[in-house]
């Protein structure tokens, strides 16, 4: 408790004013996020971070570095790449999706403070949207928007094809093969999962989807909305934020084939994928909102 208090997760308090000794603890803004009664509730995300399957790769880093036979330490530990492991292990897949869904609850702050990003859109595809948490939050603010959640078949297998409302549908598919056409394509915490080569493939499919989109017979310019970390941004002047981003950078190396990127590194991906301009807006914490235009 003293360590967690030192790190700001709890705060100490004097329960007896007559005594000078501090003998109690209270919640802080950080620890309240783990309360099940709290909205947003990030406890499933915290549980995911200590899931044995997530911890095992850190124990074999030495073997992975020396052997260099597998693409990631996760594959060294489990004998299969991360996404293949999710596909074949239903329990872990559920824990992972619940963790991602809880993290996506933070999207309500983006919709509240940066809702202009979605104004004027008629259709949106949330690529890798999992349980549809993001789409549902966006629809609360923009009920006329038609949202499609695209994810791997095993992720959306138990979701109704028509979704929970007439404006929300779930679609099983592969973003590397095809993305439905729409005014906007959203990629939340997707880009950092993949190598530069794979990111270019994904972005090219996104560009095809928004270029091909038509509304009343008229082609619309469209855009890609990326929500991810950007290394070297202005907020990186804060040591804790920089350290968190760099830890996620290492985490991506351990679990998957991706990494966190600087604006220059993102820009190279956008240009190679055929996009002409982009706009980066730091939002909250260590996250940025990137709009990419063809």
- Residue positions annotated with a catalytic role: 192
What is the C-alpha separation between 282 and 206, in angstroms, rounded? 22
DSSP string, 188-216: ES-GGGS-HHHHHHHHHHHHHHHHH-EET
What is the C-alpha separation between 173 and 269, in angstroms, rounded? 23
Which pair of tokens denotes residue 291? 């709009």
User: At CB < 8 A and 24+ separation, what contacts does 175-178 make?
Assistant: 175/127, 175/128, 175/150, 175/202, 175/205, 176/201, 176/202, 176/205, 177/205, 178/205
Residues 6+ apart with CB under 8 A from 194: 202, 256, 257, 258
Q: What is the DSSP letter of 144?
A: T
What is the C-alpha separation between 153 and 43, in angstroms, rounded? 26
Which pair of tokens denotes residue 250? 């290492």
286 neighbors 230 (Cβ within 8 angstroms): no
């Amino acid at each position: 408790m003293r360590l967690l208090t030192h790190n700001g997760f709890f705060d100490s308090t004097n329960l007896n004013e007559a005594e000078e000794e501090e003998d109690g603890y209270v919640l802080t803004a950080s620890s309240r996020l783990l309360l099940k009664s709290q909205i947003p509730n990030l406890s499933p995300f915290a549980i995911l971070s200590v899931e044995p399957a997530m911890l095992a790769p850190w124990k074999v880093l030495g073997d992975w570095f020396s052997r260099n036979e597998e693409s990631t330490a996760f594959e060294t530990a489990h004998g299969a790449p991360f996404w293949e492991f999710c596909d074949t292990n239903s329990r872990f897949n559920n824990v992972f999706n619940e963790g991602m869904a809880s993290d996506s609850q933070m999207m309500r702050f983006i919709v509240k403070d940066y809702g202009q990003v979605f104004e004027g859109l008629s259709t949106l595809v949330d690529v890798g949207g999992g349980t549809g948490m993001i789409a549902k939050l966006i629809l609360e603010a923009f009920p006329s928007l038609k949202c499609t959640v695209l994810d791997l078949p095993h992720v959306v297998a138990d979701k109704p094809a028509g979704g929970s409302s007439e404006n929300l549908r779930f679609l099983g598919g592969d973003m590397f093969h095809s993305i439905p056409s729409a005014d906007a394509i959203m990629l939340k915490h997707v880009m950092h999962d993949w190598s530069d080569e794979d990111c270019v493939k994904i972005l090219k499919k996104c560009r095809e989807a928004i270029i091909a989109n038509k509304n009343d017979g008229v082609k619309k310019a469209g855009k890609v909305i990326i929500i991810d970390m950007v290394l070297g941004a202005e907020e990186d002047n804060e040591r804790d934020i920089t350290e968190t981003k760099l830890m996620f950078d290492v985490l991506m190396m351990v679990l998957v084939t991706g990494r966190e990127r600087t604006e220059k590194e993102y820009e190279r991906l956008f240009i190679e994928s055929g996009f002409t301009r982009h706009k980066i807006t730091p939002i909250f914490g260590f996250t940025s909102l990137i709009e990419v235009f063809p």
